[in-house]
Amino acid sequence: MDVVISSKKNTAGANKRNRHDASGGVWGSSYRHRKRYNHNTNMFLWLHLKQNKKKTSFAVKQSDGDDDDDDDVTAAVTTTRRVESEEEEEEEEEEVREEGFPPKTLRSNRGLTENQVREKLEIYGENVLNPPKEKSWVELWAQQFDDRLVQILLVVAAISTASSVSQAMGSDPQSITTESMLELFVEPFIIILILMINAGVGVWQQLSAISSLEALKKLQPRLTTVLRQNNQGEDEWFTDIDASQLVPGDLIKVKVGDMVPADAYVCDLLSSAVLSVDESALSGESVSVEKEAIASNDWNTAICDGNDGYDSKPVNEQKSTLFSSTVITKGNAEAIVAKTGAQTEIGKIQKGIVSAEIIKTPLNERLDKFGNDLALLIAGICVAVWLISIPRFDDPSFASIFEGAVYYTKVAVSLGVAAIPEGLPAVITLVLALGTRRLAERNVIVRNLPSVETLGCVSIICTDKTGTLTTNQMTVESMLVMESQNNTNMWTELKVEGSSYYPIGKVNGLMEDELNACPSGAIADIFAVSVGCNDAQLVKTSDEVSIIGEPTEGALLTLAEKLAMKKEEGSLDRNRQRWLCDWKKYTTLDFDRKRKSMGVFCRNIHSGKETLLVKGAPNLLFERCTHVKLRSGSICEITDDIRDEFSSVITSLSSRPLRCLLLAVKDVDFDQYAGDIHRPEMFESIETGLTAVGIVGIRDPPRKEALESIRLCGQAGIRIAMITGDAKDTAVAIAKELTILPKDPMGTPLKAYEGKDFFSKSENEQKSLLASGNLVFYRTEPTDKQNIVKMLQSLGEVPAMTGDGVNDAPALRQANIGIAMGSGTEVAKEAADMILVDNSFSTIVKGVEEGRCIYANMQAFINFLISCNIGEVFAVFFASLFGFPSLLSSLQLLWVNLVTDGPPATALGYNPPDSEVMSRSPRDRNEEIITPWLLTRYFITGTYIAISTVGIFASYFLDSGLSFDEVRQWSTCAEWASNDSICLAFSQESLSIPQTLALSALVTVELLKALSSVSVDTSITKIGPQRNPALLLGVVIPFVIHLGILYSGKLGVPSIASSFGVVPLSVEQWISVFLWSLPILLIDDILKAYGKTINKNSHIANQ
């Protein structure tokens, strides 16, 4: 029966709505639709009574089921009921329960009032996901100092500041000038400045990633159509309600192309018997899911029992539930909002992200360990230097022991400055930022800098199938028409090119302009069914083509454009539009699950010819066909042989697997069926006596570049685990085509497992299966992906997880590196470390190459920096050990670290990739940045750097006629010197010459070391610095600056040279500098050759 609710207060509004309902405008256009709505209206009835608690009348109209006779048989029943106490409410509830109505429905059949919405918003909150806590600018800044090397530099800066303050306090007040104070505090100032710049780069990168992500946020729908009460208290459909303001109990409308704004139960289908939804972002299914109005026996569990019973079913089994952020692809419907915000299915998955453990990247772990080791080493050396200097505290050159202690404390601090590679944190940050920029040029947004390098040690990529390995665009790949060959009718397959909705590609075997040349042939009819029996629409957005509607119908529209030979630039469906100009569609026989077909009546506006175009499931639809149209246009009757061949063809296509559709036509007289077109139970009889015209095979094809990318992954020793919600046949077929699984397993079982079956095995068996080879997991739940990633991590693997759906988000967060697709959901992007804007799987492989290149470059500049710093430490240590005068001042050492070491180290980050970088197996995540052999190399090269620096310093005095012992006893010169001129050689002014020689030798040998570091293992004669122009620039500029300081007096700025305590050098002195420096190239090449032998033997041993 039809139920019309009215109250004394709002009779006009109810009557208005009733008139609208009767016309079929809101609640549907067929008796079947109204019948289903009427039943569900009864379901909503009880709460209406309870909410209003006032006298309400029910006008009940009894219908015999015939639309035309609704007004002939009518009975009016008026019931008056008033709820006055809790007991009456309970009795009323029990009565409704006995009648089969739900006792706790979420809403009545009326729109919610403004007050009701406000109250529910207070209870349930806005319909938005809980946003991740955003870090403030201050928190982002502080985060940059959570690095061991940076913390060590802060300590050194603090000690240096304290030392400078102590020296300033002990100085004569009259001798303190602005210049002297600047000289005292320049060292800690520069260290702090470096750290600030380093932090600024890190903050800038993170803010840039956040800004890019904000630009990509397109998931959450903003506006929706809701039934609410207007200011006059009447029900009205509002089309501009912000989706965030939806509450449980709202009645909403959804149509093709809409994104569902909240979890809701379908209560009525409008103007269509079918409602299809794309749930790929949630479940991983590439095929749209059909929905139906919720059945009466599900109301008690879905609504009455707090949603626990009904919602406990898996997502893909909830046939009457629309999930937030899924997309309507076919039909339109009304649904009642059940859950909003964090309570939706998306919200539940987002909670899983929070529980995912955030794993430190291998780079973070190695740098932390390196920082700890370096801190202990530096502290030990500094203390050792200070201790061995204790006997010299009472040297006559000092006024007191305290002054001697302060002096050698400064020496120890200088040693600390020399030992710490101040530029290393900044260089690492800049090189990672450089890699980020290169990836950005390839459409990759990096949210976390170290994740760029992490790609380099990824050992397994856990990837979703839909939209990642495949295009997520259903495409017709095969078209079959019947042809007569040697007097035998046979199905002929025509291959269709293309892998997207963009109508580019030809139909192989199609004759030139066959569509127009043979207008009565099967090809013309296939075109007609493809465009006529279709509700989808192709839409061009930027460089891509998408669809509004059902993906399968989008594939048919694309096929139709490929069949038409006349194509025009800038038009996606010009040929479809031309067909629509000649034919008028006037009635649709909606698809239903029983007959599994869809039909459309159309009339040629020129000839008046009427035709029924039909598409549907091959096996069922072919049973209703009596004839087959041949490609030539002739028609033959279907025989048993034809039916047998048809079954064989469909079986073959399905095994590939392709989703098959049969296309058929029928010449009709529409008036003959006018009485049956509104009776769905008659649709099957209308669609009989059909003529089959062709078969199409459709699938979501793999991306073109994916095959080559997976081949490169295999070459690089990276395994693939495809994890999808699709069925086994589809998953395995794609995996075989992309060589993830072998096409011919040769008797060995395929490593393809259903999610629940895999996790029903013992943990040991699970780990055994995960330990080797490529794998495929199908029919997985969201938690399965996260558990697989955790288990891989427990096996020592470094998994990367790719995905675009909400269901991927927890695993994206859990993985060592999460990679989201640019077209994916906001939740996935927030959980990922990087986002692929172009969705291309091949970009991941390029990212792996970039990560490996960055790691190799890191080793190159760490090799350079540590060798140089060890050289500086040893130089100061040897000078202190031998008792030489001050070798280099703290300012000079700091200058070397910043200007001489910084630019070349940064330029080494531009080293081009090694041609064999993708031919090596992934490195072990536990591999040290500095291996024992590399550390040995650093000590050997560092020792020579120290020897050249101290050697040229000492040779200056030896060439002046002093002995080695006399140089060592410089502080007691007054006791043994024969004249005062000898002691003048050790004055601060005279020391500027040997210090300049030592500084120049140190600068030169380190710059030559930089040129040699263009490759860690290959000789400079084979891979020269010319391969990296940035390195040449990074070496030339510091050397020119050094010359500028030395000869600043001749340039008219003598104060610069005096500030640094240096003087110009003669040609002979420069020759001496180069003679002491050049041997570093030979030493480094010998060490490279030996290192290659060690690495080769180690690789053979590991194999």
pLDDT per residue as tens digits for the range 197-221: 767 766 775 666 555 445 444 434 4
Which of 59-73, 131-145, 785-799 has the largest mean confidence? 785-799
* Marked catalytic residue, from 21, 263, 311, 464: 464
Crossing angle of helices 782-794/345-355, nearest 10°?
A: 10
Cross-strand partners of 536: none
Contacts of 305 (CB under 8 A, 6+ apart): none
Q: Count the neighbouring beta carbons within 10 Å of the beta carbon of residue 877.
A: 23
- CA 1081-1087-1089 angle, 5° bins: 105
Helix, strand, or coil (residue 845)? helix
1038, burial (CB in 10 Å: exposed 0-12, middle 13-18, buried 19+): buried
Crossing angle of helices 782-794/763-770, nearest 10°?
A: 80
Contact 265, 37 (CB under 8 A): no
How far is C-alpha 712 from the chain's CA centre?
Answer: 20
pLDDT tens track for 136-175: 777 778 777 776 667 766 776 777 677 667 666 666 666 5
In this structure, the strands spanning 583-589 and 475-485 are: unpaired
Please compute the mean of the pLDDT values over residues 70-83 and round it to a whole number.
34
- CA 241-246-249 angle, 5° bins: 125
Q: Give dist(CA 213, CA 216) in Å, integer.
A: 5
Contact 201, 426 (CB under 8 A): yes
Contact 821, 803 (CB under 8 A): yes
Query: What's residue 528's pLDDT?
Result: 95
Q: Given phi > 0 = left and psi -120 to 50 = alpha, else beta, which region is 724?
A: beta
> Has 464 been annotated as catalytic?
yes
| Angstrom distances, CA of residue 271 to CA of 580, 590, 716 | 22, 9, 55
Least confidently predicted of 656-670, 838-852, 938-952: 838-852
Please compute the mean of the pLDDT values over residues 231-258 and round it to a whole number.
87
Contacts of 383 (CB under 8 A, 6+ apart): 412
Q: Give dist(CA 702, CA 721) in Å, integer.
A: 16
Least confidently predicted of 183-187, 225-229, 663-667: 183-187
pLDDT tens track for 618-650: 999 999 999 999 999 999 999 999 999 999 999
1039, burial (CB in 10 Å: exposed 0-12, middle 13-18, buried 19+): middle
Least confidently predicted of 85-94, 511-520, 827-836, 889-898: 85-94
Say how many residues make up the chain: 1103
Percentage of the chain beyond pLDDT 90 is 26
In this structure, the strands spanning 752-754 and 775-778 are: parallel
pTM of the model: 0.65
Q: Give dist(CA 947, CA 953) in Å, integer.
A: 10
Please compute the mean of the pLDDT values over residues 494-506 and round it to a whole number.
89
Q: Give dist(CA 158, CA 192) in Å, integer.
A: 10
pLDDT of residue 42 exceeding 50, the answer is no
For residue 104 the two structure tokens come to 């706790």
Contact 804, 467 (CB under 8 A): yes
Position 60, amino acid: V
The radius of gyration of the chain from alpha carbons, rounded to an integer in Å, stands at 40
pLDDT tens track for 333-379: 889 999 998 888 877 776 655 555 555 566 666 767 777 777 777 77
In this structure, the strands spanning 659-667 and 635-637 are: unpaired
Pure H helices in 420-506: 423-440, 450-454
Cross-strand partners of 481: 492
198, burial (CB in 10 Å: exposed 0-12, middle 13-18, buried 19+): buried
Q: Count the neighbouring beta carbons within 10 Å of the beta carbon of residue 990.
A: 15
For residue 38 the two structure tokens come to 């009427």
Q: Give dist(CA 859, CA 865) in Å, integer.
A: 10
Confidence of residue 555 (pLDDT cuts 50, 70, 90): very high
Q: Give dist(CA 1030, CA 1027) in Å, integer.
A: 9
Q: Give dist(CA 102, CA 40) in Å, integer.
A: 10
Q: Give dist(CA 1039, CA 1002) in Å, integer.
A: 11
Please compute the mean of the pLDDT values over residues 525-536 and round it to a whole number.
94
Q: Count the neighbouring beta carbons within 10 Å of the beta carbon of residue 1021.
A: 8
pLDDT tens track for 1013-1050: 888 888 888 888 888 999 999 999 999 999 999 999 88
Q: Give dist(CA 682, CA 710) in Å, integer.
A: 51
Q: Give dist(CA 1001, CA 942) in Å, integer.
A: 13
Q: Give dist(CA 338, CA 299) in Å, integer.
A: 12
Q: Give dist(CA 764, CA 939) in Å, integer.
A: 45
Closest Cα to residue 157, out of 416, 427, 424, 428? 416
Query: What's residue 286's pLDDT?
Result: 61
